[in-house]
Amino acid sequence: MEYRAVAHQKFNSMAPPGKRHRAQSTKIQVINRRLAKFQAKYLTTDFAKRLVFDPSLLWVSAILLLVGELFVNVLVIQRIPYTEIDWIAYMQEVEGVVNGTWDYSKLKGDTGPLVYPAGFVYLFTILYYLTNYGKNIRLAQYIFCGIYLITLALVFRIYSKSRKIPPYMLIFICCTSYRVHSIYVLRLFNDPVAIMFLFCSINLFMEGYWTLGSVFYSFAVSIKMNILLFAPALLLAYIASQGIYGTLKQLTICAGLQIVLGAPFLLANPLAYLIGSFNLGRVFLFEWTVNWRFLPEEIFIHPGFHITLLLLHVVLLAIFAKPWFRYMKSFAKLQPTGVGIVSQLFLLPLFTANLIGVAFSRSLHYQFYVWYFHTLPYLLWSTPYSIWLRLCILGFIEMCWNTFPSTYASSAILHVCHFLIICGIFWRRHPTKDLKIDIKKDK
């Protein structure tokens, strides 16, 4: 190769001046043609509009915003003071395990007893050692910055493949929510960690890796129980795509992982572990509620109110079950084609099930915003509303979650927004012709 390059150079140096000039002119013409072609294709108003509105080009905005988010989060960590809420309590809880205590009833922190499953213990034990027994808060913030960026990348990949929302909506996800940024890098809650594993599992399900997806999903549940809000739609997806035996296999994987992770605690005190980590009857404090502030406190804490919410939750899931199952069967049939837009059939039931669970939660605390924040654009773009109404709903939801302490008005508006989204999705619960046309185009 070196010999040929030298020979070619010598030949050019020995060529007559006219030939050398013509060769250089030809190269310049080729470069000019390529530049003109690039300019005609990309440096145009039409392409600029596509970068803003065309879902197929969402990945371009995603890359730019991920880079921007890295700098924004570093700036937030460096400039805005950290606020201690639960981190010290987390460290105290896992410190008990580090010291050899496996009885869940004896694991406590400043905020009370340990109320999360075993996956939380293992993961935060790792953070305990990485952060010098929880003392290096700044390092913990940078770790959570990484968790935030990984979560964004996973969400952007879902949106890019599904081609549901326009790229400009990524600005809402990245740039308009102070609350979400603070939950990740200024508060260090465990909710973002569970959500990261959830979105990882959703990406795996979309690609057909059901077993691996079940492992990640179950691990997310083992960090925080709110991930179970996705379970009704996921169960329908298992049945539609895996059949009865396949569904039993996936459920066995999910349950088996919980048993394996909880084994040391189950052996020490099984009742304490089950009651402590999967306590469905826990009563929340009224002073922290975001969604039920307009109710009198005696109603909020009344068991009958909780039972009513549970019944309404189940009824609404039953109403949506039939269209969801139809979506999931279509997804199972079309998934082997490899067309990314088919994932819309899988994502909408999953995200809607979670929204219904959030809407009928007994209480929402400020860190719970991340339970559904990243799915809101997708859900709203699945409604028949105008773009302006969709943006107004997003804006009102953001306002409600940034009102501290919550007020009668903020909690009531939040319910109205949830109701509007659920109604809009119900009105469009049948597959549309637009989706079928888009699938044909992608093929």
The helix/strand/coil state of 393 is helix
Is there a domain that residue 320 lies in?
yes
For 406, phi and psi rounded to 5 degrees?
-65, 155
Identify the bridge partners of residue 112 per DSSP, sorted by sequence position: 109
Give the pLDDT score at 44. 76
Residue 22 within any structural domain of the chain? no
In a domain, 19, yes or no: no
Beta-carbon contacts of 133 under 8 Å, excluding residues fewer than 6 positions away, are 91, 95
Residue 242, H or E segment: helix 231-268
Q: What's the pLDDT at 340?
A: 75
- In sequence order, what DSSP letters do the residues of 293-339 get, joined into one string? TTS-HHHHT-HHHHHHHHHHHHHHHHHHHHHHHHHHHHHHHHGGG--
Neighbours of 393 (CB within 10 A): 22
**What pLDDT shows up at residue 395?**
94
In a domain, residue 306? The reply is: yes
Q: What is the pLDDT of residue 281?
A: 61
Tens digit of each residue's pLDDT, the chain (443 residues): 444 544 445 445 555 555 555 556 677 766 767 776 666 666 677 777 888 888 888 989 999 999 999 999 999 999 999 999 999 999 999 999 999 999 999 999 988 899 999 999 999 999 999 999 999 999 999 999 999 999 999 999 999 999 999 999 998 888 878 899 999 999 999 999 999 999 999 999 999 999 999 999 999 999 999 999 999 999 999 999 999 999 999 999 999 999 999 999 999 999 999 988 877 666 677 888 999 999 999 999 888 999 999 999 999 999 999 999 999 999 999 888 777 788 999 999 999 999 999 999 999 999 999 999 999 999 999 999 999 999 999 999 999 999 989 999 999 999 999 999 999 999 987 655 555 545 555 55
What's the pLDDT tens digit per position in 32-46?
A: 677 766 666 666 777
Residue 167 placed within a domain: yes
Whether the pTM exceeds 0.85: the reply is yes
**367 touches 191 (CB < 8 A):** yes
Alpha helices in 335-401 (DSSP H): 344-359, 376-380, 387-401
Any idea how long the chain is?
A: 443
Chain centroid to Cα 53, Å, comes to 22
- Helix 118-130 to helix 231-268 angle (10° resolution) is 70
In a domain, 337, yes or no: yes
Question: Which 8-state DSSP code applies to residue 187?
Answer: I
Domain range enclosing 323: 51-429
Q: Determine, yes or no, domain membership for 2.
A: no
Residue 437's pLDDT is: 47
Query: Domain total for the chain?
Result: 1
Q: Which long-range contacts (CB under 8 A, 24 or more apart) does 88-95 make?
A: 88/134, 90/124, 90/134, 90/188, 90/190, 91/124, 91/128, 91/133, 91/134, 93/121, 93/124, 94/121, 94/124, 94/125, 94/128, 95/128, 95/133, 95/134
* 216-248 pLDDT, tens digit each: 999 999 999 999 999 999 999 999 999 999 999
31 domain-assigned? no
